[in-house]
């Protein structure tokens, strides 16, 4: 039985919950069972072995992927107090469970357990970041061949698919004034000025997330200094990402240094989901993986620099290593 399941069972016993039940594409099912599939249910008793209830046509495939007992069929028998994640379960399924016992929300328990990554999870995310670095470097090496935002987005998707991965989210490519919108959707806009390239991949179910900003044309001295200022701020913020501090303190410092041009939080937790859930306030602990992504946004331009950071006992480990020197194209 995995360490993750054992930790969940400790929490169930502590809170006097008889079973935890997770359905289908709930990221918590993927986290605890370490498999991904539709038509699947994971039941975890407070004591004893967990079970995966799988639709018949998926059962044989899932058996090859897990050490958890697999039963064909999706009928489950549970009783007593049943823990579920409220926002990951349909009303219909909730009503079915209520016929067998009393349901209670265990979302906070799942968040607490998912925040600190095991050694195995750390290695998977480290590998995801290394592969992301390779893909980003491919992109940077080819900047002069791209003409529009969509050109870069299509290229990234092509490379990601060729290497056998999938994007952890739709790539964000934003140039010129479009970069003033943090989550701009790539269009046919011609590349000009500061251009944000933000993407990640999924590797063995875990996400990476990295952003670099490049420049199409020749930046003015003022623009180069603006970029250098943001880069120095990002480097300083990363040094603050130490065990014992809170994510909110880093966020507060970022907003103090950047001011109104920073219009979002300084980052997020990273794991099975690109925006992995986390407690608020979030006290940083060894084994957590977060992003640090300060940005400056105006009506004329946008700049963002993002890295994935592993919290350690000593200094933070930067998992994404692609150069942050301002790359220039077509000038």
| Residue recorded with tokens 């000009």 | 192
Cβ count within 10 A of residue 65: 14
Could you give the domains of the chain? 3-114 (3.40.350.10), 119-329 (3.90.230.10)
The phi and psi torsions of 212 (rounded to 5 degrees) equal: -130, 150
Taking alpha carbons only, the member of 184, 203, 13 closest to residue 123 is 203
Residue among 264, 272, 260, 327 nearest 292 (CA): 264
Return the pLDDT at 240.
97
The pair of three-digit structure tokens given for residue 314, joined into one six-digit string: 């000593």
What is the value of pTM for the model shown? 0.95
Between the alpha carbon of residue 248 and those of residues 21, 147, 236, 253, 275, the distances in Å are 32, 39, 15, 9, 16
- Residue 300, SS3 per DSSP: coil
The answer to whether the peptide bond before residue 281 is cis (omega within 30 degrees of 0) is yes
As a whole number of Å, the end-to-end CA separation of the chain is: 58
What pLDDT does residue 1 have?
66
In contact, 45 and 19? CB cutoff 8 Å: yes
pLDDT score at 58: 83
Query: pLDDT tens per residue, the chain (331 residues)?
Result: 688 999 999 999 999 999 999 999 899 999 999 988 788 999 999 999 999 999 888 888 899 889 999 999 989 999 999 999 999 999 999 999 999 999 999 999 999 999 999 999 999 999 999 999 999 999 999 999 999 999 999 999 999 999 999 999 999 999 999 999 999 999 999 999 999 999 999 999 999 999 999 999 999 999 999 999 999 999 999 999 999 999 999 999 999 999 999 999 999 999 999 999 999 999 999 999 999 999 999 999 999 999 999 999 999 999 999 999 999 998 6
**In angstroms, rounded to a whole number, what is the distance separating the alpha carbons of residues 255 and 257?**
5
């Amino acid at each position: 039985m995995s360490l993750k399941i054992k930790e969940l069972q400790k929490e169930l016993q502590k809170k006097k919950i008889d079973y935890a039940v997770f359905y289908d594409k709930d990221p918590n099912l993927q986290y605890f069972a370490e498999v991904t599939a539709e038509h699947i249910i994971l039941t975890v008793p407070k004591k004893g072995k967990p079970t995966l209830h799988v639709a018949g046509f998926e059962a044989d495939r899932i058996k090859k992927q897990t050490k958890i007992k697999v039963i064909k069929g999706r009928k489950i028998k549970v009783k007593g107090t049943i823990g579920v994640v409220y926002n990951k379960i349909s009303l219909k399924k909730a009503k079915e469970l209520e016929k067998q016992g009393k349901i209670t929300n265990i979302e906070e328990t799942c968040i607490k357990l998912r925040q600190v990554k095991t050694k195995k999870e750390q290695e998977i995310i480290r590998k995801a970041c290394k592969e992301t670095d390779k893909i980003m470097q491919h992109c940077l090496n080819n900047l002069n061949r791209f003409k529009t935002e969509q050109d870069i987005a299509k290229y990234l998707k092509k490379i990601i698919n060729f290497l056998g991965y999938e994007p952890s989210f739709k790539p964000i490519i934003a140039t010129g004034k479009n970069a003033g919108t943090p989550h701009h959707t790539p269009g046919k806009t011609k590349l000009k000025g500061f251009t944000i390239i933000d993407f990640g991949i999924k590797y063995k179910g875990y996400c990476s997330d990295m952003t670099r900003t490049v420049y199409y044309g020749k930046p003015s001295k003022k623009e180069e200094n603006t970029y250098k200022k943001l880069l120095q701020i990002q480097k300083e913020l990363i040094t603050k990402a130490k065990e014992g501090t809170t994510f909110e303190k880093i966020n507060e410092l970022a907003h103090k240094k950047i001011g109104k041009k920073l219009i979002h939080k300084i980052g997020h937790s990273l794991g099975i989901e690109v925006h992995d859930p986390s407690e608020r306030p979030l006290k940083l602990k060894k084994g957590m993986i977060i992003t640090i992504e300060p940005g400056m946004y105006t009506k004329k331009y946008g700049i963002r620099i993002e890295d994935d950071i592993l919290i350690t006992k000593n200094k933070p480990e930067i998992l994404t290593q692609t150069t942050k020197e301002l790359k220039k194209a077509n000038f």
